[in-house]
Amino acid sequence: MNKIKTSPLLPQEFVVEQISENEANIVALPFETGFAVSLAHPLRRFLLSSSVGFAPVAIKIEGAHHEFDSVRGMLEDISDFIINLKGIRFKLNNDVKETEISYSFVGPCEIKGSDLSSEDVEVVTPDAFLATLNEDATLNFSIKIHQGIGYVPSEDIREELDDGYIALDAYFTPVRKATYSIENVLVEDNPNFEKVIINIVTDGQITPHDAFKNALEVMYAQLAVFSSEISIKVPTAIERNEETPELKQLMCRIDELGLSARSFNCLDRSSIKHIGEIVMMSQNDLKNVKNLGKKSFEEIVQKVEEYGFAVGAELESDLLTTLKKKIEAE
């Protein structure tokens, strides 16, 4: 009779495998048969359709009146210029939702994405090509950049523009790829449980881990419409006296970060043994660790971020309390 269940097994393990700066695998297990795809498929849809990004929505080019025009001294036609511009990915700083920025270039020169960066606008594709100007060319243009989700065709944007602007198809989604695979895993003597691996690739506007968290938030918000029908109390892993995936990662020892010898020794001599201890420190506290230089500080911050945390981050109260107790017990 011990094979009879009254509730499905709850997954226990969650890992973020950082492949590169803009690519990561989200791994979770074990799921009951069929549960993995039931969760992975909608999460993939939310990743591709609800991730917030930035895109140019309109451009005004001095001397050009429509997308089939040309500019004297520029090798590319306006239509080619616009296609190249769509390949450049922007990110607005300081929580700005929309902006208009003007540029002026004098030839001869080759214009790339890095030439469009400023205090307010970060270009996350600096090597992307835009245009080529000859020695007697002058190019002046203004770009409207907005925050949004999904895809908005130029027809929907054109009616809101002032005269002189060319509307652009706006592709906001910062997630370039979201795929998932499902593998069988062994739980006790049963090989029919499942592991889900979600591969996420972004364009640099957002990290894969943040994109995944945003997709979860949107998914929860959509499901909230049903909360008025039935009250569901899901006990947290901490309430079940289980070690959460987050807690497991926070309890990882610092030698798992892959730090340089200098950075590791500075932390070790200060009796800092776990990643969670670094997360609980403020950035100033970390900077004040004895003999820790700027490069070592930056390396530690980067390595901690690869684990999905930030130095000085505010942890949930239950997680923070449990983390402190486990560290003190060692």
End-to-end CA distance of the chain: 40
Axis crossing angle, helix 261-269 with helix 294-306, rounded to the nearest 10: 90
CA distance 59 to 80: 13
The residues near 38 (Cβ < 8 Å, ≥ 6 apart) are none
Domain positions in the chain: 1-51+175-225, 53-171, 244-330
1-51+175-225: CATH, from 1.10.600.10, 3.30.2130.30, 3.30.1360.10, 3.30.420.40: 3.30.1360.10
Query: Which backbone phi and psi does 167 adopt, to 5 degrees?
Result: -75, 145
List, for residues 242-287, the tens digit of each pLDDT value: 567 788 888 888 888 888 888 888 998 999 998 989 999 998 899 8
pLDDT confidence of 321, banded at 50, 70, 90? confident
pLDDT confidence of 229, banded at 50, 70, 90? low
The residues near 291 (Cβ < 8 Å, ≥ 6 apart) are 266, 269
Mean pLDDT of the chain: 89
Quick check: 69 and 78 in contact, CB under 8 A? yes
| CATH, domain range 53-171 | 2.170.120.12
- CA 276, 237, 322: angle at the middle one, nearest 5? 35
Q: What is the pLDDT of residue 1?
A: 43
List, for residues 34-47, the tens digit of each pLDDT value: 999 999 999 999 99
List, for residues 105-130, the tens digit of each pLDDT value: 998 999 999 999 988 899 999 999 99
Q: Is 132 strand, coil or helix?
A: strand
Tokens 């776990």: give the residue.
274
